[in-house]
Structure 1
């Protein structure tokens, strides 16, 4: 071993020539205190480590980026960003060249770059040249302002951050069903709404963005590439995009091209496109919401699907689940939804990797884009971070659907509340009503539990009968368990059916109390076995909370 004097450390450093000396000196293999690589110089008394090329760095240097003062090799204790690359989130902060009076810092490797550095881009036809003059600029690749060193293409007259020299030209993002293409500018007439689908702020079309040529949607570069797990790079640009397989096979169509007879892979019979029948107790077997608008029905059994639910793809990517594997459409599996925590067993999407399950209402609600709700006049957008007060339940939100125009806010759970619901307390369909309609009611009591209602919270109401009820009293704990579906219970020899008795309440086989809520009934008519759901379902399939309204 040899000794080496070094700027930035008060003790001599020992030169390690091979791995055996690392073990002999009991130092182990750690990171260089300057650049983060494995070291070959170390100070055994104070744990200062540096490999040979870093140990020989000059203490001072003059740099073209900062001509006022020389730059001194120093520890970046304030974690200032490099004025050349702009980065601050390095694993090893370590040493930098800096000017303390000017708070000017450059990374060691950035300071050693040639002033004539030329970098070839993987998605741009011309190379980029390092522009070593610190001037404010707006990056033409991402549209974000910069005040450090930039790279320029003289042929195209564009200037960009270093990190975006090889920005992928085409990506497949979990935020959108189609491929997204990067461009350095758009013609203003290409898009009607220039709003990023993630942050919902305006996109400057004079600078770079990602867009879908099929749907006319647009994304900020930094929004759609922020999480590396949320997208993949499409390397073969000429390769045809293969969409996920449809859930239906079209058997017959009308003159307008609309499918009138289909075969859905989750049902044994053919389904026919039907008009709204007006039977309030019928719910869609996909989303469990009341049937309305165009829907498909089965002539052999009570099976109904909204047209939109029937046309869902077999596989889907969602931005709020970041496994690399896509999600597969499933049904008739009881689970607790990852997003809303409701117990659910209708249509849902399950991750092919980790088997996480997300209910269909949440998948639909969290699909990027504008949403309309009840009588609110403006579109709502989902914000991953938004602290406010929910207009429906009055509780604080951390993420929510928000209208910027009038500060209207809804929790994800409240946004997914059924607009209409059926309850035995009234012969008509009950409608979700906001607190501004409390003046219609003569009293502010719930007609189900007969307790008072909070006037600032939404409720269900029948305008014909002047019936008003808490949201929780109408929906109950298990409003998203599909009735008449099969549930296998190990303590009974026959398959059980999920039921909710309306007027006749037989006693539970387990606890002997009347089965007034969701229960499991034997599918064999001759067997009178019936039990409460809560008496036999495992803990992870029991609801431990109630609606707060």
Structure 2
């Protein structure tokens, strides 16, 4: 007898019980931050391979479910669909009759795949003498896969390569695709189906996890390889310990753009310039606040200045006593530590009145009447600034002349630099024809630099308007602020990398702040092994680590780059939410000067406004993060711009004279309590729906 009907139990002849195993159970409940999940176990589970003892085909984790022997010493395994086979089968190629499970004892051929068999199990139609082997029966189970990135089974129906959009990476591919029969538009390329769940990159210490969906992605997050934005609608590799995100194409090196790896501080061995061709090249960031660009320039390292200002001695008998046109009192040269230098740890802020940078080294000049309250200080090199600048890159048509005092109407409030856009009340250069103003630091803006954030590539000074066209915009890679067309910025001509001049030149590599006993280092990306959220220790607001900030590795503390110079308690509330990016907006301002006003008995201090200062006494506007005059005796403050706008108006002066007088509260008569009245309408109006038939009749009449 050729055919013998069999039961599935006769085929699955195994002496031990079988258990159903879920290969993706660990992936369904996986949490990246949970230490209970071993990365090696997850990798081993995805790489699982076995052989089905019925159909002879392989078992992998895309089948998800399979039967295995309950005995650990036994390797007997079955596909789930092979272990659950039925005695009957309805084959799509033979729909007129039902096939029955039989066992043949002689040779036969499968009518579906034409494979010849000597004997074995098959599904047979006795009416048509039609039989198929178990491999063709299980074909439907093999073309279906389960993937943890999608809740429904996926089926591949394409024989020839097709061109389609891949849902997982958001790009167009040509090849084999898997489709979801439940979802209308879910289609995924086979290369994305087979992506490893875990992988490592040479330039990152932690393993990255393939992530399929995201509830929240930081707005400023970018791929750490190509520097492009991250979308929450596509799959990516991430490391939550470091807020490290990478496109799947970039992580698997299938589409990694050239020169992209170092765009966020990762070293490349190849350089696009010869160091010997640029002997005077400045390397940024400068080591710390004690390093000053003017110091390097005036020390003689850069030979492109003509006239140098020389100090004249006032009295030969008083050694070290000099007079300088920038100050009305004689200056004393300090070579020994008689005066405390700039020290954030001790809340000492010693600032040069010329370049407005901290004085951390000797020698320097101080006013001989410092004991009387005159707080004038100068770096030694700031006394040797050239009196004229020619061919300045921002204003080459006219020469710029050095001035020590801003124009009379800006004596206290300062001027706005046309290069960096920061207000300044220190030394500067001016064009008498055009009133073009630059501070002394921007007077020597270099033509080329290198920066640690973009190593081995030369950054050239360019006019932003010359490379912007139409609707295209450029954003600073440090603070993500759009670079305006009138700015001078630094650009890598080899890459899409830009830095505005403030972030490029004014952020030192390390800073000291009273909130941390260790120096804080400038960081260009999220810190490795930093699991908690980032917030600034100074302003106590949220910090976005995809933008440059300062961080202490020992204490785990972070500070906005704009909050780093705020070392005094009175400055803590200076910045508003819009002023936490890039550099401190009052970096070139020296505060604390006193000024007398007609009609007021106390001197007023020139300060940056804080939250605690409240509102302007003149316009009632907010004072935070703006320049103000404040009387600490009367506890009143007002905008500098409000004074400047109305300083010639006798009404403003009269208002200040009257309002600054002590006020006695007058007795106010409390209003009598009135009984509240409630109005109840007699009839409640309800909306009435129109009658469709009536409307149709009207249309017919028309």
**Shared fold (TM-score, shorter chain, > 0.5):** no
Structure number, greater radius of gyration: 2
Of Structure 1 and Structure 2, which has the larger fraction of its residues in helix? 2
Q: Name the TM-score, length of structure 2 as normaliser.
A: 0.35
**Whose relative contact order is higher, 1 or 2, with alpha carbons under 8 Å and at least 6 apart?**
2
Q: Name the TM-score, length of structure 1 as normaliser.
A: 0.44
